[in-house]
């Protein structure tokens, strides 16, 4: 079913033209650029130190936001399968996607617009934030578990309901080896995971 994007108050990181076939996911790109542990023992939350970055604070303040729950570098996947480096910021009101090269806000998603988050219980780093009124987000981070937990708590606190998830985090999740997401309003893709010797093989396929 076609899904249409709601009007945005912030600029949008536009999806690219519809790709064909399978997206190539290099094994080394599945790891964070700093090669951090996927499940740090002591979550820090703000790994970007947003308060020390005036351009990030200006973006948040312009939206009437200030309380940062999580911030870190991630890889974002476009509809055509390209990978772009982005800063992901989660506040108690919204999710922000910022271009670290231009310091520009690419997308702002209100927590109320988030339907669920999809991820596996494997060491693959991939996760998708599902937004029914828009197109979805597919990203990769070695801190996907911390991101999921933070998003759960933020939405539960702000909207008094728990985010649905296909994943495995403590008692809230069930194991899930793949998921679908809308790369654009009309393009559905499937992320598949396969455990192989030495790690996890990830494939991103178009749904026909």
Is the whole-model pTM more than 0.95?
no
- For residue 123, what pLDDT is reported? 85
In a structure prediction context, what are the per-residue pLDDT tens digits for the chain, which is 208 residues long? 444 333 344 455 656 555 456 666 655 454 444 444 444 445 589 999 999 999 999 999 999 998 999 999 999 999 998 999 999 999 999 999 999 999 999 999 999 999 889 988 888 899 999 999 999 999 999 999 999 999 988 888 876 555 565 543 332 333 467 889 999 989 999 999 988 888 889 999 998 6
Q: Which two tokens stand for residue 9?
A: 């108050």
What residue ranges define each of the domains in the chain, with the CATH number in brackets?
43-206 (2.30.29.30)
pLDDT value at residue 178: 86
Q: What are the tens digits of pLDDT across the range 67-107?
A: 999 999 999 999 998 999 999 999 999 999 999 999 999 99
pLDDT at 36: 44
pLDDT at 25: 65
Q: What is the pLDDT of residue 151?
A: 92
- pLDDT for res 105: 97
What pLDDT, on the 0 to 100 scale, is given for residue 125? 92
Quick one: pLDDT at residue 21?
63
């Amino acid at each position: 079913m076609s899904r249409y994007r709601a009007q945005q108050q912030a600029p949008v990181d536009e999806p690219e033209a519809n790709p064909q076939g399978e997206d190539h996911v290099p094994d080394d790109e599945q790891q964070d650029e700093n090669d951090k542990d996927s499940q740090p023992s002591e979550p820090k939350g703000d790994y970007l130190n947003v308060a020390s970055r005036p351009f990030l604070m200006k973006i948040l303040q312009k939206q009437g936001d200030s309380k940062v729950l999580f911030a870190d570098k991630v890889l974002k996947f476009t509809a055509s399968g390209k990978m772009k480096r982005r800063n992901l910021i989660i506040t108690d009101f919204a999710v922000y996607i910022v271009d670290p090269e231009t310091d520009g806000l690419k997308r702002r998603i209100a927590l109320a617009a988030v339907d669920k988050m999809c991820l596996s219980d494997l060491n693959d780093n991939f996760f998708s934030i599902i937004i029914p009124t828009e197109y979805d987000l597919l990203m990769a981070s070695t801190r996907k578990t911390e991101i999921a937990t933070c998003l759960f708590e933020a939405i539960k606190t702000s909207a008094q309901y728990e985010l649905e998830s296909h994943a495995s985090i403590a008692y809230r999740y069930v194991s899930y080896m793949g998921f679908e997401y809308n790369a654009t309003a009309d393009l559905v893709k499937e992320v598949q995971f396969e455990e192989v010797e030495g790690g996890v093989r990830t494939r991103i396929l178009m749904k026909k």
